[in-house]
Amino acid sequence: TAPLSSVTAGTATHCPYCALQCGMMLNQDRDGAWSVSARDFPTNKGGLCRKGWTSAALLDHPERLTTPLVRDSKGGPLRPASWDEALDRIVAGIQRIQSAHGANAMAVFGGGGLTNEKAYLLGKFARLALRTGNIDYNGRFCMASAAAAGLRAFGVDRGLPFPLEDIPGAETILIAGSNPAETMPPIMQYFEAQRARGGKLIVSDPRRTATAKLADLHLALTPGTDAALANGILNAAIHAKLIDPIFIDERTTGWPATRRSVASYWPDRVERLTGVPARDIERAAHMLGEAATAMILSGRGPEQQSQGTNNALAFINLALALGQAGRKHCGWGCMTGQGNGQGGREHGQKNDQLPGYRKLDDPGHRAAVARVWGVDPDTLPMPGMPAVAMLRSLGQPGGVQGLLVAASNLVVSAPDAASLSARLSGLDMFVALDLFLTETSSLADIVLPVPQWAEEGGTMTNLEGRVIQRVQARTPPPGVWSEPRILSELASRLGCTAAFPSEPAEVFTELRRASAGGVADYAGMAPDRLAARDGLFWPCPDESHPGTPRLFLDRFGHPDGRARFHPVERRLSAEEPDDAYPLYLTTGRVLTHYQSGAQTRRVAELQDAEPAAFVELHPDAARPLGIRPGMLVQVSTRRGSVTLAARVTADIRRDTLFVPFHWGDASNANLLTIDAVDPISRMPELKICAARIAVAPAE
């Protein structure tokens, strides 16, 4: 098919999907067809996964939106409209809603796939043009618990506080609840190099995932017992005299209380709590504690829980007590998922933050950013609602009445999807900025078409805290406007006098100024430096600074330079199995799809490989219910039911069901999940609820 746009062939850029941000070339042949080839970049070393290899298929996709769409009445059809009409309707809607209900009745919801520039502008738009405190993003469903734990323990949240190149030098690595062999396969080169040097790998996961199959030790824990497991390993390490008293004394605070708190987690008891044999708990303690260098990497398994922050803190306690932090080839880090999940939370897209990872409720931080924005700091709103509270408030008295969503397919990715769909449909005004009519944007009153990854410049911050450039390879199709242009136009029509640059390079220049002096300091990241050095790690405060690949080598981020222990007690999940719903349900990802599937389900090769959601269950759970492989079964929770094909496998615990979350409509895994949240991070408990399964009734 002929491309929709003009062409610049052979562009060195990055994959549009996950936080590894693999390097790739985007090429165009003489017939106009786009293709991708891998290029050597530190994160992927010439490798790509299937998602990356096929990413060019989206560029000229026939379902691409190229004109604004509006709805003349609730429940009526969407019809094409001019940009003028669409923007007029949005401005009229904002003014109507805010004059009736106040500024906070408008809310903005962003995404971890947006460039740093867009995330920055969304935050600025919400606070200055809408004057609302209600802005948050889908990283609240992804990174929030790890971020909260990192801030509490280290004083700084950077997913990996060290570069990937440190992985092979770790003698032992514990991966807790992450499956990179399927979610970001090129990263496995680093783990393979670690194994080739004699390193050991431990994986904790209720499923024997592709990553767990590579491990020397698989700890198949009961869902929701991560903190008990980490405490149990720490207890065993204390009794084996494997802790590092010098490191604890010189570089941490709070050890005595944490030491006392794990005293009741002796291995036999932890075996009963977690289902992990006591001998394996002790073995893990020896593997980690006897290693000269060790890492603990956590993922969404422990983090997407109503005790997600505490789970992450329990693993951090373990790393600190063993002295396995603040040194090269050591440390705790989290495996960020979304492409810009890291940068997305550094520049003001989160409800409580300002650019540079500053705090919105800190007077000094407000003043610093207000200076760059040319406004009185007192006019900046205070933090509004975090994501789940904001979504619960949609259409409620005193809640959000108008919502602008960018780069988020909430109906597939947020918990308790059925009630969310109803609330979105009932809003006074719902505006979506999107590439395609997704399950979410198809509910909107106004849909604005925006560019894809290859049609825009900008920067992304990967899972290492490495800031890289996304290079524009082609112009967007006619009719598509960039998010910065849309926000600039809306701000102007709303009478906002602050500057809203619409070119990514101008936005990045302003972002660098706004971040200067903050924790995530980008001030020294001149674009030519980013291009010349395979990116730069923050903080990078001036143009002579080399960037900071390794944090915490000399001191942690708290004012006294010490890391903090936090005693953690194991708590039950919000909904544990019972007689009516006797199994755990956990959700996750598959190799061929990314996040809500809005993009990857539109790539035929990926969709053909994995066309629908399924449920994985153990033969011992299937047999008594007469469930055989491939049979249609009904998975039910207190929120709803979905009908799925059964995959019967011994690679999952007997008490656990697994459903991937990449599909919408009737097989949407989040029709089943619970919207209970972690009280610290406000992360929803996407990984655990109580469920039952039965053969599906005949049609």
Q: Which residues contact 74 (CB under 8 A, 6 or more apart)?
A: 425, 445
Q: Which CB, 21 or 670, lies closer to ligand SF4?
A: 21
CA distances from 74 to 105, 163, 429, 437, 619 (A): 19, 50, 10, 17, 47
Shortest gap between Cβ of 146 and ligand SF4 (angstroms)? 18
Asked if 160 is part of the footprint of ligand SF4 (rule: CB under 6 A), the reply reads no
Shortest gap between Cβ of 608 and ligand SF4 (angstroms)? 18
Asked if 20 is part of the footprint of ligand SF4 (rule: CB under 6 A), the reply reads yes
Q: Which stretch binds ligand SF4 (CB under 6 A): 10-18, 161-169, 201-209, 301-309?
A: 10-18
Q: Which CB, 17 or 255, lies closer to ligand SF4?
A: 17
Shortest gap between Cβ of 406 and ligand SF4 (angstroms)? 21
Give the DSSP H or E segment for 642: strand 641-648
User: How far is the C-alpha of 691 from the C-alpha of 577, rounded, in Å?
Assistant: 7
Q: Which CB, 15 or 143, lies closer to ligand SF4?
A: 15
Q: Which CB, 290 or 534, lies closer to ligand SF4?
A: 534
Asked if 186 is part of the footprint of ligand SF4 (rule: CB under 6 A), the reply reads yes
CB atoms within 10 A of CB 99: 10
Asked if 468 is part of the footprint of ligand SF4 (rule: CB under 6 A), the reply reads no
Are 229 and 283 spatial neighbours (Cβ–Cβ below 8 Å)? no
Q: What is the dihedral of CA 508, 513, 517, 519, to 10 degrees?
A: -20
User: How far is the C-alpha of 473 from the C-alpha of 3, rounded, in Å?
Assistant: 13
Asked if 56 is part of the footprint of ligand SF4 (rule: CB under 6 A), the reply reads no
Shortest gap between Cβ of 455 and ligand SF4 (angstroms)? 17
Q: Which CB, 46 or 254, lies closer to ligand SF4?
A: 46
Angle, to 10 degrees, between the axis of helix 504-515 and the axis of helix 363-373? 150
Q: Which CB, 18 or 59, lies closer to ligand SF4?
A: 18
Asked if 51 is part of the footprint of ligand SF4 (rule: CB under 6 A), the reply reads yes
The interface with ligand SF4 within residues 321-360 (CB under 6 A) comprises none
Q: Which stretch binds ligand SF4 (CB under 6 A): 41-49, 290-298, 423-431, 506-514?
A: 41-49
Q: Which CB, 22 or 212, lies closer to ligand SF4?
A: 22
Q: Which CB, 185 or 299, lies closer to ligand SF4?
A: 185
Q: Which residue is nearest to ligand SF4 (CB)?
A: 52
Selected from 44, 178, 351, 515, the binder of ligand SF4 by CB under 6 A is: 44
Selected from 4, 48, 325, 674, the binder of ligand SF4 by CB under 6 A is: 48
Q: Which stretch binds ligand SF4 (CB under 6 A): 47-55, 219-227, 417-425, 513-521?
A: 47-55
User: How far is the C-alpha of 501 from the C-alpha of 506, rounded, in Å?
Assistant: 6
Rg, C-alpha atoms of the chain? 24
Classify residue 75 as exposed, middle or buried by CB count within 10 Å of its CB (0-12, 13-18, 19+): exposed
**Size, binding site for ligand SF4 by CB under 6 A:** 14
Q: Which CB, 255 or 453, lies closer to ligand SF4?
A: 453
User: How far is the C-alpha of 39 from the C-alpha of 235, rounded, in Å?
Assistant: 45
Classify residue 619 as exposed, middle or buried by CB count within 10 Å of its CB (0-12, 13-18, 19+): middle
Give the DSSP H or E segment for 593: none
Are 338 and 18 spatial neighbours (Cβ–Cβ below 8 Å)? yes
Shortest gap between Cβ of 591 and ligand SF4 (angstroms)? 9
User: How far is the C-alpha of 548 from the C-alpha of 509, rounded, in Å?
Assistant: 20
Asked if 460 is part of the footprint of ligand SF4 (rule: CB under 6 A), the reply reads no
Shortest gap between Cβ of 462 and ligand SF4 (angstroms)? 9
* Residue tagged 């990045």 (tokens): 508
Selected from 4, 5, 13, 22, the binder of ligand SF4 by CB under 6 A is: 22
Q: Pull the structure tokens for residue 91.
A: 């401005």
Of 492, 511, 490, 401, nearest to 448 (Cα)? 490
Q: Which CB, 49 or 128, lies closer to ligand SF4?
A: 49
Give the DSSP H or E segment for 317: helix 308-321
Q: Which CB, 38 or 354, lies closer to ligand SF4?
A: 38
User: How far is the C-alpha of 463 from the C-alpha of 348, rounded, in Å?
Assistant: 18
Selected from 15, 119, 220, 368, the binder of ligand SF4 by CB under 6 A is: 15
Asked if 18 is part of the footprint of ligand SF4 (rule: CB under 6 A), the reply reads yes
Q: Which stretch binds ligand SF4 (CB under 6 A): 11-19, 92-100, 139-147, 523-531?
A: 11-19
Q: What is the DSSP letter of 652?
A: B
Q: Which CB, 21 or 231, lies closer to ligand SF4?
A: 21
Q: Which stretch binds ligand SF4 (CB under 6 A): 182-190, 202-210, 217-225, 304-312?
A: 182-190
Q: Which CB, 324 or 462, lies closer to ligand SF4?
A: 462
Selected from 4, 184, 288, 385, the binder of ligand SF4 by CB under 6 A is: 184
Q: How many helices (H) and strands (E) does the chain have?
A: 22, 28
Q: Which CB, 186 or 323, lies closer to ligand SF4?
A: 186
Q: Pull the structure tokens for residue 374.
A: 């040319």
Asked if 511 is part of the footprint of ligand SF4 (rule: CB under 6 A), the reply reads no
Selected from 5, 21, 28, 309, the binder of ligand SF4 by CB under 6 A is: 21
Shortest gap between Cβ of 599 and ligand SF4 (angstroms)? 10
DSSP string, 533-544: TT-EESP--STT
Q: Which CB, 48 or 672, lies closer to ligand SF4?
A: 48
CB atoms within 10 A of CB 637: 22
Q: Where are the beta strands (DSSP E) in 396-517?
A: 402-406, 429-434, 446-449, 458-461, 466-470
Selected from 13, 28, 52, 344, the binder of ligand SF4 by CB under 6 A is: 52
Q: Pull the structure tokens for residue 231.
A: 């405490």
Q: Which CB, 35 or 649, lies closer to ligand SF4?
A: 35
Selected from 4, 26, 49, 385, the binder of ligand SF4 by CB under 6 A is: 49
Are 118 and 344 spatial neighbours (Cβ–Cβ below 8 Å)? no
Q: Which stretch binds ligand SF4 (CB under 6 A): 49-57, 216-224, 264-272, 281-289?
A: 49-57
Q: Which residues contact 249 (CB under 8 A, 6 or more apart)?
A: none
DSSP string, 17-44: SSTT--EEEEEE-TTS-EEEEE---TTT
Shortest gap between Cβ of 54 and ligand SF4 (angstroms)? 10
Shortest gap between Cβ of 179 and ligand SF4 (angstroms)? 12
| Interface positions with ligand SF4 (CB under 6 A) | 15, 17-18, 20-22, 44, 48-49, 51-52, 184-186
